Every structure is written in structure tokens, then in C-alpha cells.
A = this chain, B = another copy of it.
Amino acid sequence: METAAFPEEVLSIGPVEIRPHGGLVTLNQRTLTLSVREFTLLVEIARRAGRIVSRAELYTLVWGAPLRAGDRSVDVYIHKLRVKLEDGAPGWAFIHTHVGFGYRFAPEPSHPFHNTATSR
């Protein structure tokens, strides 16, 4: 339609599709609901898909301030994103941890050895 006003940027990676300017994320065609923080974090790490991004960099990108020692916000939000993403696309791994370095966004089918029974 007569939208025309924004550079319709679209990040399409694996089953994920992100519209940074539309606030929308779809997983397997299904739109998922993210909070503002979750969305911003996803956008930033997804824009750097394939590379390891440090917590400090992610924090600066999303929170707009330098990461303070002991702050675990990034970890908490990475976890929230993992839950929503993996919940919407079972069998896929999206965000990988690199101990001591940071996180890396790279949607990949997870290994088939995983027991389907999600007990806890």
C-alpha cells in the first residue's frame, strides 16, 4: 500500500524474520510477541548473526550505556529470547554461548539426540 516512508529492512535468518522498524518478528510464519527489550536485543544480535558478540557490546547497543560489573541483564534477556524462539520452533537452536566471550546468533537445527520429553 502507500506505506513508503521507511527502508523496509528485513532480517531473514533461518525460520526467523525480523522487521527492525516494524517491531515485528515472525517464526515459521507465526508472529511472536516480544517486549521492547527482548525485541531490541534480538535485532542487535541478529544484525551480527554468525559472529560472537560480547555482553559489553550487546549492553551498549541495547541499553545505551556501558555494562557495569556484575550486571546480568544481558544473560537474563538472552534466556528469555531463547525460550520464546525455541518454543516457537522446536528442534532449533538460535543463540549459542561462547564461554568467556559472549553470544552468537545462528539458527541451526539442534541435534537429534535430544529426548522429546520435556520433563522437569
Contact = CB atoms under 8 A, between A and B. Distances in A.
A100 B35 contact: yes
B36 A24 contact: no
A2 B51 CA distance: 13
By DSSP majority rule, is chain A's interface helix, strand, loop, or mixed? loop
Number of copies: 2
Interface residues of A, number: 29
A98 B23 contact: yes
A120 B35 contact: yes
B51 A24 contact: yes
Interface in A16-66: 22-24, 31-33, 35-36, 39, 47-48, 50-52
Interface of A: 1-2, 22-24, 31-33, 35-36, 39, 47-48, 50-52, 80, 84, 96, 98-102, 104, 106, 117-118, 120
